[in-house]
Chain A
């Protein structure tokens, strides 16, 4: 019950309320058993002439005015029935609201913690994480736990306490009759537990078929251009039909199994009722029990049947809750980043020194080897190199998304590892390669790191990032909702938004991780020109495949397989044989005629 303990931990602060919820259901079940007794007494001893055997009931009857008085005033019994129902209702209400309150607060607790934990997991985790599985844990697993707390656990507690009280009352009324009333129940219960455990597979199969159907549909819809351009409509219809059919058949199979269950379970339950009535009548005639007792037993048996049938399903579902707790724990067990370790927050001007830096993601597979260079505040350096050469890894070290293994990185002569992550990230603006925009308005997306920022600052940043004109051309301008129907931003627009939201913070160090790739050359130039004109120029690191982007840097580093293989500025590098010159020539492969033209121009 390790999982149960964990669950209790999440319930911190709401355990008492939950306990009261449990007590309420137990009280309401006790009250439930009263009604049939009341009716029995009325039939047997008020209307009929049987003597009252129980002293509790006798004192109850006396309290209401005595047997004769009640016989002439049956409405008092009617009123008592209503009051009992009302009282039971109140406790049912309490049970529902209390357990829901506790469960909802616990769920909120889990949700918030999960959300925060996930966003604080290290960068590395997010590179490898499977979104679908994580989301599933955060949504359906949390939902499973919530249902367990809000519904299932109290329901089972209710059913068990009802079983106990009713058995108690029944055995007190008549042992023989009580035994007959309960003879089929264990079969019903066992059947339902066994059945729901077996049918679990079918539920899963149907869910999986639906997931496959969704995937096929999604691929078709997102690839609609491809489908049309290749006129594969018929092919797609056939493919979809197969999944659609599969889903239909598996779901039908499940329903058929459930039909078998419910009909057989109906059969068992009603047989139990039949048994009670037949044997009860027989014994009533024989004089072993009174008519009122017979009626009470038929009521009790009806009360017991439903929870017993349902219990198999509830117990199966409850098993899922513990699996869910375990799955969620997997997330919580992943260590998170500590953003503020030593509270070192130096004022950062922007000089960067790399000294023999080594870095590896996996042991003995270094992606950066012996990297050394120096940048003065306000300078621009450019990184160029083939895919996998270590450019991105290098810039990811600066905001401490990863920590280097060997060597030293100093920002303004302070060892980077000693600066708090939170602080360094505030000071190093990294524009990621694949920008992620939030489902918020454009304005909110630009002032993401500080929602209180004034509009003018937003406009200014957008202008520098050459996105302002695009934004005001939208119908709702800065209030346009990203992802709204009809408004989809192009790759280039997204990249420029990412640039705007980074430079708005005026960080002393700014990194562009190939973040201009989808922007056309002209816009690329105007962004860089605007940046250069800014006051308090930031130290800038640019990764790009475009020579034109790289060319103006104060220092260009050419990386290959984790090493700096060439360094210098554009003019020196184009004179050197090497990767840089080769790339330059590919991108500017003018044929001779072009060269003539340019020379003549």
Chain B
């Protein structure tokens, strides 16, 4: 599933420019870090000079005078190096983790503010990847990339300066291999990185295949698909093998080439340096220093090539993360509203008017982003406490009506009024704080049953929770569990049955004591006996609340005050159960279908 175009190989500075504003809080730390890296780079280039010093001052002069001082000096440099290494590693680590934390926090806050329409377009897996691996990669590349960059540059500069000062001509000759080293490194690192990326892509496909292997095992058995499955999987592992070997070949070609290039530098040093020693132009120490320097050049050049390649690949991560951070929510509260009533994360609830439960759709039209029109000029008035059942086929628009009512979407045209107030003039949370909502597939959060019910009302007391559970007939099964309300529900509620989850989600909605209520196909996935229990709960729950019910089961719909049959975004029938049966329209057909078979059978014998 290649959802993103990762082919952007060129560095794009506008992407990174955007990034600098996120770097600001770490400016000080970055400066210290770069300072430290310069020290490390300089120290690394000084060690060969120390060797040279030893050779020239002791060996060549044939004296041990001052060798203790030399030993102390060397030891001092070692301690300085160790301390700087410790400092730069921990500071870079600090920056990396703090930056990942900050960006992730911003991303999460943005995700909470983005409306449902955003989630319709983005798969959960996609969003997860942005929030985890992309942010990790970004902060890692920035902090460590910068460290390596500073070190590489300093080291190269220091070594170059040291060599030039030792012997200008010899330095130029020896350094002549560096440009080739850089070219080869740049060429290979880019390809190596790309090959590794291919490997990762196939790897994620393999993981997905295992997931199917396990979760689809029952399907595989019933359809006897074992052999075809293995064939398909084997193709995948073969391409993985080929790509991995290709990546290895690339990097194992790179190393020998670079080593050989490096040895050319050494060869130059030995050849020209050796002659110079014989002619007395340079000392033995200088020759030895040059030989060590040629070995030292390779690492920083390789590092720089790696950084460039990594920054390029992190660019794709950066773009995706920023596209999330910069996303403008399709539903926002105006500034006046925020001023008066607070925003999503800091609501000023004391200023909110209480909701009675009058509801009106006034000339509401709605179309999706792609232009598909779902509702046109839709009008509806609902009195406080009224229960409205929505009936209709998939795609008829009944879910859209509920989504508009909940302000998960906003009308493209027209207004939704609650107690006569256009809900756009109020903060989004106003309606949500007064809403009880039960979904077709109940979603619970990890934690205890109690915590899950409390999700509906953070101020709910133990007594409130038990009362709510009793009301929806959940108390009994909860108490049957060993730990009662303290029972862990597992990830997404996986330790409970669907029916149990559903009852808890009812309790969660009830404990809010909301004026508005929505049941979104809440009973379709439950067996008859449980449904009967839930039906009782529903009747109690909806009593006295302005509510919408979407359900396939007619038993749920029948008790509504008003039933709306929706087709192509329009109300085609409107009335209570009796009226609509009398009407002999769509609803009548739907309702009596259950008996048609029976009747026709008795007719046909």
A281 near B101 with CB under 8 A, answer no
Interface stretch among B60-68, B156-164, B376-384, B412-420?
A: B60-68
Q: Does B316 contact A (CB under 8 A)?
A: no
Chain A residues, CB < 8 A from B578: 593-594, 597
A217 near B108 with CB under 8 A, answer yes
Chain A residues, CB < 8 A from B435: 229-230
A126 and B70 CA atoms in complex are apart in Å by 70
Q: Does A399 contact B (CB under 8 A)?
A: yes
A237 near B112 with CB under 8 A, answer yes
Q: How far in angstroms is the closest Cβ of chain A from B282? A: 11
Chain B residues, CB < 8 A from A96: 248-249, 251-252, 255
A298 and B491 CA atoms in complex are apart in Å by 58
Pick the residue among A215, A252, A588 that contacts B94 (CB under 8 A): A252
Q: Does A490 contact B (CB under 8 A)?
A: yes
Q: Does A244 contact B (CB under 8 A)?
A: yes
Q: Does B21 contact A (CB under 8 A)?
A: no
Q: A139-B207, A214-B132, A285-B62 are in contact. Are A502 and B223 (CB under 8 A)?
A: yes
B455 near A222 with CB under 8 A, answer no
A486 near B210 with CB under 8 A, answer no
B215 near A46 with CB under 8 A, answer no
Which residues, 280 to 330 on A, are CB-close (under 8 Å) to B?
A: 280-282, 284-286, 291, 294-295, 298-299, 302
The 10 closest A-B pairs by CB, nearest first: A89-B256, A255-B93, A78-B267, A96-B252, A85-B263, A259-B89, A229-B437, A263-B86, A231-B432, A267-B82
The residue in A77, A429, A438 that gathers the most chain B C-beta atoms within 10 A of its C-beta is A438
Q: Does B480 contact A (CB under 8 A)?
A: no
Contact digits for A465-501, partner B, Cβ 8 Å, 1 yes 0 no: 0000000000000000101111000111000000001
A222 near B124 with CB under 8 A, answer yes
B597 near A251 with CB under 8 A, answer no
12 additional contacts (CB under 8 A) given A74-B272, A111-B237, A270-B81: A86-B256, A86-B260, A96-B252, A100-B249, A220-B108, A221-B119, A230-B508, A235-B458, A263-B85, A267-B81, A274-B74, A520-B393
Pick the residue among B259, B288, B455 that contacts A295 (CB under 8 A): B288
Q: A39-B291, A260-B86, A298-B51 are in contact. Are A255 and B105 (CB under 8 A)?
A: no
Chain A residues, CB < 8 A from B594: 521, 547-548, 587-588
Chain B residues, CB < 8 A from A115: 209-210, 213, 229-230, 233
Q: Does B443 contact A (CB under 8 A)?
A: yes
Pick the residue among B224, B238, B512 that contacts A425 (CB under 8 A): B224
Q: A47-B274, A256-B93, A267-B79 are in contact. Are A435 and B219 (CB under 8 A)?
A: yes
B215 near A227 with CB under 8 A, answer no
Interface stretch among A128-136, A195-203, A342-350, A364-372?
A: A128-136
A-B contact pairs, 23 of them (CB 8 A): A77-B270, A77-B274, A78-B268, A85-B260, A104-B240, A105-B241, A115-B210, A118-B217, A119-B213, A119-B220, A126-B214, A225-B443, A231-B428, A232-B455, A236-B108, A237-B109, A237-B112, A262-B86, A436-B215, A570-B598, A570-B601, A586-B528, A597-B581
Q: Does B234 contact A (CB under 8 A)?
A: yes
Q: Does A576 contact B (CB under 8 A)?
A: no
A135 near B211 with CB under 8 A, answer yes
Nearest CB in chain B to that of A106: its residue: B241
Pick the residue among B59, B94, B406 that contacts A285 (CB under 8 A): B59
Q: Does B569 contact A (CB under 8 A)?
A: no
Pick the residue among A217, A401, A484, A593 that contacts B132 (CB under 8 A): A217
**Number of A interface residues, CB 8 Å?**
163
Q: Does B245 contact A (CB under 8 A)?
A: yes
Chain A residues, CB < 8 A from B529: 386-387
Which residues, 122 to 150 on B, are CB-close (under 8 Å) to A?
A: 122-124, 126-128, 131-132
Nearest CB in chain A to that of B96: its residue: A255
Contact digits for A229-261, partner B, Cβ 8 Å, 1 yes 0 no: 111111111001100110111011001101110
Chain B residues, CB < 8 A from A89: 255-257, 259-260
Chain A residues, CB < 8 A from B443: 219, 222-223, 225-226
A436 and B209 CA atoms in complex are apart in Å by 13
B590 near A521 with CB under 8 A, answer yes
Q: How far in angstroms is the closest Cβ of chain B from A372? A: 25
A185 and B122 CA atoms in complex are apart in Å by 54
Q: Does B544 contact A (CB under 8 A)?
A: no
B131 near A74 with CB under 8 A, answer no
Chain B residues, CB < 8 A from A81: 263, 266-267, 270
A96 and B590 CA atoms in complex are apart in Å by 70
Chain B residues, CB < 8 A from A245: 101
Q: A108-B241, A551-B598, A552-B601 are in contact. Are A439 and B208 (CB under 8 A)?
A: yes
B408 near A262 with CB under 8 A, answer no
Q: How far in angstroms is the closest Cβ of chain B from A147? A: 11
Q: How far in angstroms is the closest Cβ of chain A from B490? A: 11
Nearest CB in chain B to that of A70: its residue: B274
Q: Does A412 contact B (CB under 8 A)?
A: no
Chain B residues, CB < 8 A from A95: 252
Q: Does B397 contact A (CB under 8 A)?
A: no
Chain A residues, CB < 8 A from B255: 89, 92-93, 96
Chain B residues, CB < 8 A from A435: 219
Contact digits for A92-112, partner B, Cβ 8 Å, 1 yes 0 no: 110111001100110110011
Q: Does A567 contact B (CB under 8 A)?
A: no
Q: Does A558 contact B (CB under 8 A)?
A: no
A100 near B244 with CB under 8 A, answer yes
B284 near A138 with CB under 8 A, answer no
Q: How far in angstroms is the closest Cβ of chain B from A570? A: 7
Q: A119-B220, A229-B406 are in contact. Are A271 and B67 (CB under 8 A)?
A: no
A107 near B241 with CB under 8 A, answer yes
Q: Does B41 contact A (CB under 8 A)?
A: no
Q: A129-B214, A587-B594 are in contact. Are A425 and B532 (CB under 8 A)?
A: no
Q: Does B225 contact A (CB under 8 A)?
A: yes
Q: Does B471 contact A (CB under 8 A)?
A: no
Q: Does A42 contact B (CB under 8 A)?
A: yes
Q: Does A182 contact B (CB under 8 A)?
A: no
Q: Does A522 contact B (CB under 8 A)?
A: yes
A219 and B490 CA atoms in complex are apart in Å by 11
A221 and B127 CA atoms in complex are apart in Å by 8
A82 and B255 CA atoms in complex are apart in Å by 14
Chain B residues, CB < 8 A from A108: 237-238, 240-241
Q: A100-B244, A298-B292 are in contact. Are A583 and B528 (CB under 8 A)?
A: yes
B100 near A386 with CB under 8 A, answer no
Chain A residues, CB < 8 A from B429: 231, 233
Pick the residue among B284, B393, B582 that contacts A597 (CB under 8 A): B582
Which residues, 252 to 288 on B, are CB-close (under 8 Å) to A?
A: 252-253, 255-257, 259-260, 262-264, 266-268, 270-272, 274-275, 277-278, 284, 287-288
A268 and B240 CA atoms in complex are apart in Å by 41
Pick the residue among B92, B268, B593 that contacts A548 (CB under 8 A): B593
A97 and B129 CA atoms in complex are apart in Å by 32
A214 and B446 CA atoms in complex are apart in Å by 12
Chain B residues, CB < 8 A from A121: 217
Q: How far in angstroms is the closest Cβ of chain A from B342? A: 10
A263 near B89 with CB under 8 A, answer yes
Q: How far in angstroms is the closest Cβ of chain B from A508? A: 15
Nearest CB in chain A to that of B236: its residue: A111
Q: A93-B252, A256-B93, A295-B288 are in contact. Are A85 and B259 (CB under 8 A)?
A: yes
Chain B residues, CB < 8 A from A129: 214
Q: A81-B266, A263-B82 are in contact. Are A150 and B221 (CB under 8 A)?
A: no
A119 near B217 with CB under 8 A, answer yes
B278 near A233 with CB under 8 A, answer no
B85 near A262 with CB under 8 A, answer yes
Q: Does B5 contact A (CB under 8 A)?
A: no
A587 near B555 with CB under 8 A, answer yes
Pick the residue among A221, A222, A225, A439 that contacts B408 (CB under 8 A): A225
Q: How far in angstroms is the closest Cβ of chain B from A486? A: 6
Chain B residues, CB < 8 A from A597: 578, 581-582
Q: Does A414 contact B (CB under 8 A)?
A: no
A552 and B62 CA atoms in complex are apart in Å by 111
